[in-house]
Structure 1
Amino acid sequence: MSFAVAAALLVMGSGPIEVVSNAEPSYNIGYEELVAGDPAGALEVLEAQSGADAQDPARLINHGVALARLCQHEAARERFQQAARLDDRYRLETADGSWVDSRVLARRGLAMIDKGRTTGFASLASR
């Protein structure tokens, strides 16, 4: 068997390959504002947008974070619950650089609200 045939078989046997050219969303999800300590600015950015991005778990989680940091806990709970219920799940990079499943991140936000925590929400911010 020639090297070219062996290489072709190896590539074909590895399954479909997906190339992602831009993993960044094409809209602002308030990450920079949250990391800068400006939840009101993040909320302004997030609430000015609408459309297909409304079901983006990173956007919903960041919206929940902004609301929680502004002590709007019931509204934050709604955003975290929406993110936790989405059929699609993603691994999101958080503000501390770790990669976490979007549903897990949303449940962490809910747990923080349930425990009455008023700080630490910034670590949930995702990009």
Structure 2
Amino acid sequence: MITAKILGSAAGIILMGSAAVAQPSGEIGYAQGALGYDALVSGNNELALQQLQASEEAHATDPARLINLGQTYARLGRTGDAARMFTAAMQSNRNFDLVLANGKVINSRDAAELALQNLNHQIAAR
């Protein structure tokens, strides 16, 4: 099973890989920075964007990357781009289980759908 650690949208849900050992980075099974996870967690959205753009060639259609890129775009006020990334992750031919910080397992398509719903609620609340 592929594992990934991603940051959910708006609700601040942290998703993490299912590895049993503590990891030095939030990106399990990826090169450090490939998912921009640690930069997102620390609130460094510009660095997260740079990392996610740099990993596009290797992980262009990876749902974990798409969700984190959507999260980054949402934080930067690029809501249209964020919605496109979440939708792409939902429609990806790849999907895998992610583990929420609270231990709950969620499919990457469901995580992307939740992120899109949260983004839509944020936009509606403006």
Q: Same-fold call, TM > 0.5?
A: yes
Q: TM-score if structure 1 supplies the norm length?
A: 0.67
Give the C-alpha shift of residue 55 in structure 1: 1.0
Name the counterpart of 1:26: 31
Q: TM-score if structure 2 supplies the norm length?
A: 0.67
Gaps of 5+ in 2: 2-18, 20-27
Give the ranges of 4+ consecutive aligned residues of structure 1 lying more than 6 Å apart after TM superposition.
none
Identity %: 33
Aligned residue type for 1:72: R
Gaps of 5+ in 1: 1-17, 119-127
Give the C-alpha shift of residue 79 in structure 1: 0.4
- Larger radius of gyration between Structure 1 and Structure 2: 1
Say whether the 8 Å CA contact 1:94–1:100 is kept in structure 2: yes
Q: CA deviation digits over 1:68-105, x for unaligned, max 9? A: 11111000000000000012211123456543210011
Name the counterpart of 1:58: 64
Name the counterpart of 2:77: 71
Distance 1:96 1:111 in 2: 20
